[in-house]
């Protein structure tokens, strides 16, 4: 994705527009199944709440402060937005803490919370999953590693993560954060683009068969997890079941969007699952809404490549990151 730079005048315009609640809209809602009516109201529209980023990712709603935070991956910054205060910097550096210059997308990507409220970051530049050693309402660039290697080999660039209710962190590790963003990068050490579980200070490989594992989330009950594969040749969401000892069973295709990826911008990327099991998944053309059986209920059509999404605590609002934009969809009153 070609970087887009934000001028001082444009930034001032964005800040002023956000603060004054002058929201522009972009895209549309495509209704495919009547079940979507209970999820997204007829009046819902994607609103631009901030713009001008190089590549926005990892949105996360912080209920404690009624704030949305999100990564600008190439800029090594996490921004924050609220209805009351608009846009500002939340944390920098966010993903690369060394003073040694390096290329590539080095910032944080996926963001999530532990059960006790710690911020978990997938850090491309530092090649690890870590948590912020500070309260979410008083952020500081002080991080403690959750996982940074597999059997002594450095992870490539952890991309997205989900935390199970017992505190285990499940995460994906494609090569996108390496300087060349490829498997051929000389810095790549891990033999797989894997899906891992971090528990008790150790990472365990769960899945090694995906070409570009990206977004990850559990279905309700935490017995099944879904992984998005952001590969244009295999633009597929996969489902996996967990046995009692956390061995992976019943690997299967949840939905194959490879043909759609040939026609529309974007690939299977970050996604979220609501309490009813509905899945809001960034993919070709915007955000796909599935039920937990993999039936497409509708789409939020966005003209830019959409990378991820986040639900508010009451699940009535969906936030989207889409290239240079951050969007809001008020799903229901």
DSSP states along 187-201: T---SS-EEEEEETT
Q: What pLDDT, on a 0 to 100 scale, did the predictor assign at position 18?
A: 45
233-243: average pLDDT: 98
Query: Is residue 43 domain-resident?
Result: yes
Residue 189 tokens, joined: 């050490």
Query: Is residue 256 domain-resident?
Result: yes
Mean pLDDT across the chain: 93
Q: In terms of pLDDT, which residue wins out, 103 or 283? A: 283
Q: What pLDDT, on a 0 to 100 scale, did the predictor assign at position 122?
A: 98
97 pLDDT band, cuts 50/70/90, is very high
234-259: average pLDDT: 97
Q: What pLDDT, on a 0 to 100 scale, did the predictor assign at position 162?
A: 98
90-117 exposure pattern, b = at least 16 Cβ within 10 A, e = fewer:
bbbbbbbeeeeeeebbbbbbbbbbeeee
DSSP 134: S
Q: Is 289 a residue whose pLDDT tops 70? A: yes
275-294: average pLDDT: 98
Residue 42 tokens, joined: 């007829």
Query: Is residue 252 domain-resident?
Result: yes
Q: Is 7 a residue whose pLDDT tops 50? A: no
Domain limits for position 26? 8-330
In this structure, the strands spanning 296-301 and 286-290 are antiparallel
Query: Is residue 3 domain-resident?
Result: no
Query: Is residue 2 domain-resident?
Result: no
283-287: average pLDDT: 98
* CA pair distance 250, 240, nearest whole angstrom: 6
23 pLDDT band, cuts 50/70/90, is confident
Is residue 58 within 8 A of residue 124, CB to CB? The reply is: no
Residue 3 tokens, joined: 């970087």
Q: What is the CA radius of gyration of the chain?
A: 18
Q: What pLDDT, on a 0 to 100 scale, did the predictor assign at position 21?
A: 52
* CA pair distance 220, 275, nearest whole angstrom: 7
- DSSP code string of 30-68: EE-SGGGGGTS-TT--EEEEEE--SSEEEEEEETTTTEE
At 17, is the secondary structure helix, strand, or coil?
helix
Look up the CATH number of the domain holding residue 276.
2.120.10.30
Least confident interval from 3-12, 16-25, 120-129: 3-12
DSSP 114: -
Q: Is 258 a residue whose pLDDT tops 50? A: yes
The total number of residues shown for the chain amounts to 333
6 pLDDT band, cuts 50/70/90, is very low
Count of domains observed in the chain:
1
Render pLDDT for 52-68 as a digit per residue (tens, 0 to 9). Answer: 999 999 999 999 999 99
Q: What pLDDT, on a 0 to 100 scale, did the predictor assign at position 104?
A: 84
Q: What pLDDT, on a 0 to 100 scale, did the predictor assign at position 11?
A: 44
253-275: average pLDDT: 98
Query: What secondary structure, in 3-state letters, does 211-252 show?
Result: CCEEEEEECCCCCEEEEEEEECCEEEEEEEEECCCCCEEEEE
22 pLDDT band, cuts 50/70/90, is low
Is residue 68 within 8 A of residue 81, CB to CB? The reply is: yes
Query: Is residue 283 domain-resident?
Result: yes
Q: Is 9 a residue whose pLDDT tops 50? A: no
Query: Is residue 124 domain-resident?
Result: yes
Query: Is residue 185 domain-resident?
Result: yes
């Amino acid at each position: 994705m070609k970087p887009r730079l934000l001028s001082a005048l444009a930034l001032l315009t964005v800040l002023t527009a956000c603060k004054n609640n002058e929201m522009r809209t972009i895209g549309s809602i495509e209704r495919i199944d009547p079940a979507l009516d209970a999820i997204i109201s007829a009046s819902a529209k994607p609103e631009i709440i901030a713009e001008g980023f190089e590549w926005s990712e990892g949105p996360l709603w912080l209920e404690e402060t009624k704030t949305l935070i999100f990564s600008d991956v190439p800029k090594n910054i996490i921004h924050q937005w609220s209805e009351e205060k608009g846009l500002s910097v939340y944390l920098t550096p966010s993903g690369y803490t060394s003073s040694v210059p390096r290329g590539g997308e080095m910032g944080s990507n996926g963001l999530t919370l532990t059960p006790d409220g710690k911020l978990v970051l997938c850090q491309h530049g530092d090649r690890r999953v870590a948590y912020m050693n500070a309260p979410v309402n008083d952020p500081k660039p002080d991080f403690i590693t959750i996982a940074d290697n597999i059997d002594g080999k450095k992870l490539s660039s952890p991309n997205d993560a989900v935390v199970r209710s017992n505190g285990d962190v499940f995460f994906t590790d494609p090569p996108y954060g390496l300087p060349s963003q490829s498997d051929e990068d000389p810095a790549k050490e891990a033999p797989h683009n894997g899906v891992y579980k971090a528990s008790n200070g150790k990472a365990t490989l769960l899945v090694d068969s995906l070409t570009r594992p990206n977004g990850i989330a559990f279905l309700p009950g935490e017995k099944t997890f879904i992984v998005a594969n952001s590969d244009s040749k295999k633009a597929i969401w996969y489902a996996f079941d967990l046995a009692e000892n956390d061995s992976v069973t019943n690997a299967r295709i949840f939905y194959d969007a490879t043909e759609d990826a040939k026609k529309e911008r974007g690939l299977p990327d970050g996604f979220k699952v609501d309490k009813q099991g509905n899945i809001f998944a960034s993919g070709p053309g915007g955000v796909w809404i599935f039920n937990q059986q993999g039936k497409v209920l509708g789409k939020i059509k966005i003209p830019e490549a959409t990378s991820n999404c986040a639900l508010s605590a009451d699940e009535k609002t969906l936030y989207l990151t889409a290239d240079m934009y951050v969007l809001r969809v008020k799903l229901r009153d």
